[in-house]
Chain A
Amino acid sequence: MQKEIKHTFYFSQTPQEVWEYLTKPELMEQWLMPSDFKPVVGHHFRFTNPNNSFVVCEVSEVKPFTNLSYIWKNDWAVTKTPYTSKVSWTLTPMEGGTELLLVHSGFELFKDLSAHNSGWMFLVNKLGELFKAGKK
């Protein structure tokens, strides 16, 4: 079972241009969600989902044109399934553009399992077997 999400995308723009789309609310809104984001460590902000629910966030790292991360939580006031996670963006200049890596990880729920990595791996393997068994 997967416990973190990773995606790598390539763009023909420079890291500076891609960075704008990660940090300017009017540009973020075009592809992600409306928010009151500011690229300032410690800034609390919210993304608004189309159904008017919120993702509650806090900026944890800003290294212009290179790294951006924020804590990503759902709205604990209205949910029965609270979680805390971390979204990290890494921009790497490449010939002819930028590599953008997204890692969405640290789902609080999985923290202890990750800390006991061997136990977790065992569980993962066991689950893999269960999934296979279920599909037969």
Chain B
Amino acid sequence: MRTQTLDAFQVIADPSRRQILTMLSKDSMTINSLAENFDMSRPAVSKHIKILYTAGFISITDIGRERHCVLKQDGFDEIQDFINYFDKFWDGKLKKLQMILNNKAK
């Protein structure tokens, strides 16, 4: 299987991967129990899990024979950064507009 390096946005662009994240937001789950929720093959689910793992969205712990998936913060940070960037961008731009208009009013 080819190794994929995707950024955070490409990772969550896929509906199945978002579904996995949503399921994990309720509780940690084993790869097997996650796979039961999908029509696709077990290897296909594993591939999505691997992508989520590589991008830092989940961590995987081996307990006995089972592999447990848990949400992890790192992957989400990049998305939050993106929103924060635009939040600051507009705040800065609007303050500039306010300054221009205030000066005009004088």
Contact = CB atoms under 8 A, between A and B. Distances in A.
B2 interface: no
B76 interface: yes
A30 interface: yes
Contacts of A31: 93-94, 96-97, 100
Contacts of A40: none
B83 to A, nearest CB: 5
Interface residues of B, number: 33
Interface in B52-100: 71-73, 76, 79-80, 82-83, 86-87, 90-91, 93-94, 96-98, 100
Nearest to A113: B18
B58 to A, nearest CB: 12
A12 B105 contact: yes
A123 interface: yes
Contacts of B93: 31-32
A86 B10 CA distance: 20
A51 interface: no
A11 interface: yes
Nearest to A123: B25
A100 to B, nearest CB: 8
Contacts of B10: 80-81
B100 A30 contact: yes
B80 to A, nearest CB: 6
Given A7-B90, A32-B93, A134-B73, A12 B101 contact: yes
Contacts of A107: 83
Interface of B: 7, 9-10, 12-13, 15, 18, 21-22, 25-26, 71-73, 76, 79-80, 82-83, 86-87, 90-91, 93-94, 96-98, 100-102, 104-105
7 contacts: A5-B87, A7-B90, A9-B98, A83-B9, A100-B94, A109-B12, A119-B25
